[in-house]
Amino acid sequence: MKEDLEYIKKKLKPYTKEELIFNEPHFTRQLLLREGNRDVVINELLDFGT
């Protein structure tokens, strides 16, 4: 499990906010259902594990 997390962190590290692509409209629908915030999700992805 820890190896998987390290692999994911290493893969996400070089990306910027502008480079992220989301599966629309699914992503937006899920955010609305969960009352989520796009910026929070992006920050969590890019700051994963820090």
49 vs 38: which has the higher pLDDT: 38
Furthest CA-CA distance within the chain: 32
Instruction: Determine the angle formed by the axes of helices 26-33 and 38-46, rounding to 10 degrees.
Output: 110
pTM recorded for the entire structure: 0.65
Q: pLDDT tens for residues 6-31?
A: 888 888 889 888 998 999 999 999 99
**pLDDT for position 36:** 94
Structure tokens at 45: 């992805």
Enclosing domain of residue 16:
2-46
The distance in angstroms from the start CA to the end CA of the chain is 17
Euclidean distance between CA atoms 23 and 6, whole angstroms: 24
Instruction: Report the number of distinct structural domains present in the chain.
Output: 1
**pLDDT for position 35:** 95
